[in-house]
Structure 1
Amino acid sequence: MRFRNLIQFSVAAALSALLPGAADAATGGEPAQVDIASCLAAAAADDMDKAGSACAAVIDNEKTARPDLIKALIARGALYARHDQVDRAIADDSRALLLDPSLADLFNTRGELWLKKGDRPKAVQDFGAALRIDPNHEKAKANHKALSRELERIGAQMAVAGKPSFNCASARRPVEKAICANRELADLDREVYAANARVLREAGNASEAKALQREQDDFVARRNAGFGRPGYDLKKAMQDRLQKLNGVDGY
């Protein structure tokens, strides 16, 4: 629903930016007699059947003036988007942007569609294009900021993925070497370390923090001593420790 509302808002702004008298200037003479009203009305009424034929008659007509063609593409693209036909919506918006690459609202709209499709790089590129055209475009600014932060977070996670809380180059104990050699165990070790650091930060006083750190030290000591013994499950031990740090319901 959020994406549908965003798309409807952005498309309305894009259509309003196209001046009704631009057809004469684009053709250099009399505008072509093409019935764009039926296309726009059907799309606004969310009538897929009528809009399909009415908009196709405008879009596929060689006599359609450029401004009318852009309007029809935007209207049909918005209709496709409302009905979750994202690829078709992107195709119509892309064609409209080729005809007029100055439409900041439409770049933002297509960015939202890319985001819905899960293509973050193309989405952030379109939000950026909208802002280059209109640096004060509020929706594009909000979208670009939120997505940029998400990409930074993902990048940070990828940078430490498969790396434990300690330096593997200085690992000496067998358990440490085992953790370094296994991506899942390395991620678990890092999560345990981060969870313990959070618990210490949230401690009510120094005495409580000291007791909590003693629990972590005891866990590490048991882990070091237990690794390699029959029946000892390192992964389960680390998962149990993480669950205890985060609480039964998680953090």
Structure 2
Amino acid sequence: MDKLFTKRAFPTTTTMRPPVLIPSLCAAMILCALSAHQGRAATGGEPAAVGQVDVAPCLAATSADDVEKATSACADVIDNEKTGKPDLVKALVARGALLALHDQIDRAIADYSRALLLDPSLADVFNARGELWLKKGDRPKAVQDFGAALRINPNHGKARANHKAMAQELERLGAQMAIAGKPSFNCARARRAVEKAICGSPELADLDREIFAANARVLREARSPVEAKTLQREQDDFIARRNTEFGRAGYDLKKAMKDRLQRLNGVDGY
């Protein structure tokens, strides 16, 4: 198992159900051991002992962050067909949390997903899986899991914060997509050949918009009106050269725009 990098808290329970996994409590407190029972042998009347699956070692090892012991102890529970559903869910959630702590994201998601198939009422696990989806860069699945957690428990504070943050991020990305490929000026009014070339190229249009935004920023951050006037004169000179030299042999519009953007972003240490 991978080496530990950054630890995160195990999912905590905020629903009315008993806690699934609370690292601050002894594993014995969340253990729901199977009741001892006996069966009859298929041939004869003598009672035969039925094996009991003990989830306690798995929970204890994961709570103690003992990777070596947890690997074996949790597998003994999860891979045993005699394991009851409640203990199987506990073992999956516990192992999933440990895997997440060690950045085994795909394996952690697999354990959480299996646990949710068995018990889809676990708001904490939905939230925890959503955070893992976010780590993988899958925003839609992250939002879906945060929303599922909130449907189960509308008062789940962490899921609510995660869902809000993701909604704002998706809104921001949507706004960026809405202006992607559009320059800083209205293409319907483009008259110059260079302006039409910019409107006809999404890459050049994005560069134009970034140059416009960067120039506005450096003007806002100018230390004096005189400095602001000097900076604007540089921008005006760039536009004038662009308009005049476009179409001439040797003039590279994209390179000129990239150089201007780099110049603007180099102002004041940007």
Q: Give TM-score, length-normalised by structure 1.
A: 0.82
Q: 1:130 Cα deviation (Å)?
A: 1.4
Contact 2:10–2:97 (8 Å) recurs in 1: no
What is the alpha-carbon root mean square deviation over aligned residues?
3.1
Matching residue of 2:7: 5
SS of equivalent residue, structure 1 residue 153: helix
Q: 1:106 Cα deviation (Å)?
A: 0.9
Matching residue of 1:226: 245
- Count of residue pairs the alignment pairs up: 244
Change in CA separation of 1:23 and 1:133 when aligned onto 2, cut-off 3 Å = farther
Does 1:188 pair with 2:211?
Answer: no
Select the structure of larger CA radius of gyration. 2
Contact 1:11–1:74 (8 Å) recurs in 2: no
Matching residue of 1:53: 72
Matching residue of 1:129: 148
More helix by share: 1
SS of equivalent residue, structure 1 residue 9: coil
1:5-46 deviation per Cα after TM superposition (whole angstroms, max 9, x unaligned): 33x33268642499656978xxxxxxx832111211222333
- 1:58, 1:23 → 2: CA distance? 12
Q: What is the identity, as a one-letter code, of the residue corresponding to 1:10?
A: P
Does 1:154 pair with 2:155?
Answer: no
Q: 1:204 Cα deviation (Å)?
A: 5.5
1:42-84 deviation per Cα after TM superposition (whole angstroms, max 9, x unaligned): 2233333432332222223333222211111111112222232
Residue 95 (structure 1) aligned to one of 114, 132, 143:
114
Contact 2:33–2:55 (8 Å) recurs in 1: no
- 2:268, 2:226 → 1: CA distance? 26
- 1:238, 1:215 → 2: CA distance? 13
Matching residue of 2:126: 107
Matching residue of 1:29: none
Residue 99 (structure 2) aligned to one of 80, 89, 92:
80
Q: 1:200 Cα deviation (Å)?
A: 3.3
Superposed counterparts of 1:133-144, under 5 Å: 133-144=152-163
Contact 1:23–1:66 (8 Å) recurs in 2: no
Matching residue of 1:33: 52
Matching residue of 1:28: none
SS of equivalent residue, structure 1 residue 15: coil
Query: Any stretches of 5+ residues in structure 2 without a counterpart?
Result: 14-18, 36-50
Residue 62 (structure 1) aligned to one of 77, 81, 105:
81
SS of equivalent residue, structure 2 residue 81: coil
Matching residue of 2:194: 175
Change in CA separation of 1:143 and 1:22 when aligned onto 2, cut-off 3 Å = farther
Q: Give TM-score, length-normalised by structure 2.
A: 0.77
Q: What is the identity, as a one-letter code, of the residue corresponding to 1:5?
A: K
Q: What is the identity, as a one-letter code, of the residue corresponding to 2:78?
A: I
- 2:32, 2:251 → 1: CA distance? 79
Query: Any stretches of 5+ residues in structure 1 without a counterpart?
Result: 25-31
Deviates further, 135-144 or 106-115: 135-144
Matching residue of 1:199: 218
Matching residue of 2:48: none
Contact 2:218–2:267 (8 Å) recurs in 1: no
